[in-house]
């Protein structure tokens, strides 16, 4: 979502005359769009500011703006601690960034803008064209979360669930498609909770997928990130008859232990999660899954950990993200006693080995077979292209004739854990 937000911040600043530069030393303004999910996010901002200060020691100080979830969480505190920062803008206020920059240029007074103006934000963003011209683009449809998992900061930094108006999203999708986009990933912190009410009619994520599926020039549809308890029947049904909806779902489970899921306040248990996986597989056997895992959550025992391992083996996730639990300030889990770090590290290693095994096996299964790849761009060598399979696996294609935006058959000749390598036409084999 930060990538989407950063692109929109660029659209908003270009509306007041700013242009992007690759030469950092020439910039008049820096926007650090931050994420608060990972550990030490705030410290990373201070380090980045330290680097800026050093680089601009003997030249004119640029305007320095910190936006995103760290800005929201730290608010005025961040300016107090680091006076080199001129402005703090929360993720639900960045639509004002153009006006705020102009205000700062007039008054030269520090600005702290961290209100939750999410409706106003999307009204404003709708009036400024989305200038993204990528083959694969993101489109935010929903923000915030009402689930309040005990380890997560999102409900505090992004605020309560908000679903953008249906037509607003469709109009933005049309802009993207007219700019050359062939694949749209619908975004939300809780994307499958999307629910927009208009004149007593309810529009769900499934309504959006079905509408987008009709756009002739659009080739692929994805969505992320989903919560298991919002995988409703209407959404599952889309996998039966929406041919552009890719058979790959990122469905975070976090743990396979019912005790830990309860302590996390995840609102689903292992049995329910597996029943969703089963329903999806039944409706479309091609579907594969990825997930997020938190290892070493407070009170996780060896038995709880083995429950997670069991779940991984039953689902066979093809790609996942896994981390040792680290507390986020202000969340209920922050007050809990941490588990032994050595045990946590050993568990993470074991879990990641199993996940890697599934990922490698999945890639190996492609060997000497043809797969459908959406070509995204040419690589620097000039004789290779980058694309992705239906399952998001990166593919390096040996060819001098690919056309970005086309879906082509690629014969896979080698692989490593994360990538596939292959041929189209009669070009030479690539070596991993
Ligand atoms: S559902 Fe996702 S975004 Fe919402 S609180 Fe839980 S982990 Fe955070």
Q: SS3 of 172, please?
A: helix
Contact between residue 42 and residue 72 where contact means Cβ atoms under 8 Å apart: no
Q: Which of 152, 265, 330 to mutate to test the pocket of ligand 1 (most atoms within 8 A of CB)?
A: 152
Q: Is the pLDDT of residue 430 over 90?
A: no
Q: What is the pLDDT of residue 129?
A: 79
- Alpha-carbon distance values, 121 to 99, 260, 296, 311, 372 (Å): 13, 37, 38, 40, 38
Please state the rounded mean pLDDT for residues 30-54.
87
Report how far ligand 1's centroid is from the alpha carbon of 431 (Å).
40
Please state whether beta strands 220-224 and 183-187 pair in parallel, antiparallel, or not at all (unpaired).
parallel
Cα gap 142→145, rounded to integer Å:
9
Q: Is the pLDDT of residue 429 over 70?
A: no
Q: Minimal CA–CA distance to 361: which of 413, 311, 415, 425?
A: 415
pLDDT in tens, 95-126: 999 999 999 999 999 999 988 888 888 888 88
Cα gap 38→285, rounded to integer Å:
34
Q: Which of 76-80, 142-146, 245-249 has the lowest mean pLDDT?
A: 76-80
Q: What is the pLDDT of residue 43?
A: 87
Predicted confidence band of residue 40 (pLDDT cuts 50, 70, 90): confident
Classify burial at 21, counting beta carbons within 10 Å of its beta carbon; exposed 0-12, middle 13-18, buried 19 or more.
Answer: exposed
Q: Is the pLDDT of residue 416 over 90?
A: yes
Report how far ligand 1's centroid is from the alpha carbon of 35 (Å).
14
Report how far ligand 1's centroid is from the alpha carbon of 34 (Å).
18
Residue nearest ligand 1's atom 8 by CA: 152
Instruction: Detail the DSSP E strand segments found in 8-130.
Output: 29-34, 63-68, 87-89, 111-113
What lies within 8 Å, CB to CB, of 43 at 6+ separation is none
Q: What is the pLDDT of residue 425?
A: 65
Please state the rounded mean pLDDT for residues 194-211.
96
pLDDT in tens, 280-312: 999 999 999 999 999 999 999 999 999 999 999
**Atom of ligand 1 lying closest to residue 148 CA:** 5
Q: What is the pLDDT of residue 75?
A: 85
**Atom of ligand 1 lying closest to residue 225 CA:** 2
Query: Does the predicted model carry a pTM greater than 0.85?
Result: yes
CA 60 to mean position of chain CA atoms: 35
What is the phi/psi pair of residue 130, to 5°? -80, 115
Q: SS3 of 343, please?
A: helix
Looking at the chain, the whole-number percentage of residues with pLDDT higher than 90 is 77
Pocket of ligand 1, beta carbon within 6 A: 145, 147-149, 152, 154-155, 189-190, 227
Contact between residue 331 and residue 150 where contact means Cβ atoms under 8 Å apart: yes
Residues found in the chain: 432
Q: How large is the C-alpha radius of gyration of the chain?
A: 23
Q: SS3 of 220, please?
A: strand
What is the phi/psi pair of residue 407, to 5°? -95, 125
Looking at the chain, the whole-number percentage of residues with pLDDT higher than 70 is 98
Report how far ligand 1's centroid is from the alpha carbon of 252 (Å).
10
pLDDT in tens, 54-100: 999 889 999 999 999 888 888 888 899 999 999 999 998 899 999 99
Q: SS3 of 266, please?
A: coil
What is the phi/psi pair of residue 303, to 5°? -65, -45
Please state the rounded mean pLDDT for residues 178-184.
95
Taking phi over 0 as left and psi of -120 to 50 as alpha, with beta for the rest, 255 belongs to beta
Q: Which of 37, 161, 190, 268 to mutate to test the pocket of ligand 1 (most atoms within 8 A of CB)?
A: 190
Please state the rounded mean pLDDT for residues 264-268.
96
The residue among 350 and 11 whose pLDDT is bigger is: 350
């Amino acid at each position: 979502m930060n990538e989407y937000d950063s692109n929109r911040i660029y659209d908003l600043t270009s509306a007041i005359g700013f242009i992007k530069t690759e030469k950092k030393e020439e910039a008049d303004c820096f926007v650090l769009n931050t994420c608060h999910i990972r550990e030490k996010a705030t410290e990373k901002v201070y380090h980045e500011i330290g680097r800026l200060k050093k680089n601009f020691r003997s030249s004119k100080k640029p305007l320095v703006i910190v936006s995103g979830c760290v800005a929201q969480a730290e608010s005025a505190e961040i300016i107090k601690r680091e006076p080199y920062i001129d402005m703090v803008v929360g993720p639900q206020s960045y639509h004002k960034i153009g006006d705020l920059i102009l205000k700062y240029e007039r008054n030269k007074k520090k600005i702290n803008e961290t209100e939750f103006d999410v409706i106003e934000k999307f009204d404003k963003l709708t009036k400024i064209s989305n200038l993204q011209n990528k083959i694969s683009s993101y489109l935010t449809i929903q923000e915030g979360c009402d689930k309040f998992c005990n380890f997560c900061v999102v409900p505090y930094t992004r605020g309560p669930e908000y679903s953008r108006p249906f037509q607003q999203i469709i109009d933005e999708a049309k802009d993207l498609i007219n700019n050359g986009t062939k694949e749209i990933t619908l975004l939300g912190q809780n994307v499958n909770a999307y629910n927009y009410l208009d004149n007593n009619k309810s529009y769900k994520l499934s309504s959006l997928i079905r509408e987008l599926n009709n756009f002739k020039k659009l080739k692929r549809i994805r969505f992320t990130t989903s919560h298991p308890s919002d995988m409703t029947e209407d959404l599952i049904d889309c996998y039966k008859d929406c041919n552009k909806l890719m058979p790959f779902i990122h469905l975070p489970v976090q743990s396979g232990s019912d005790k830990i899921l309860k302590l996390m306040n995840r609102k689903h248990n292992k049995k329910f999660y597996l029943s969703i996986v089963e329903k999806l597989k039944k409706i479309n056997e091609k579907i594969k899954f990825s997930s997020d895992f938190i290892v070493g959550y407070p009170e996780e025992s060896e038995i709880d950990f083995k429950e997670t391992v069991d779940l991984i083996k039953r689902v066979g996730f093809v790609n996942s993200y896994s981390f040792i639990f680290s507390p986020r300030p202000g969340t209920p889990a922050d007050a809990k006693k941490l588990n032994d770090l050595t045990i946590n590290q050993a568990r993470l290693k074991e879990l990641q080995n199993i996940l890697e095994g599934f990922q490698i096996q999945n890639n190996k299964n492609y060997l000497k077979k043809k797969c459908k790849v959406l070509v995204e761009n040419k690589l620097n060598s000039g004789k290779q292209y980058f694309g992705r399979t239906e399952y998001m696996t990166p593919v390096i294609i040996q060819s001098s004739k690919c056309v970005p935006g086309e879906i082509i058959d690629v014969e896979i000749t080698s692989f490593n854990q994360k990538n596939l390598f292959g041929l189209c036409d009669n070009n030479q084999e690539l070596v991993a």
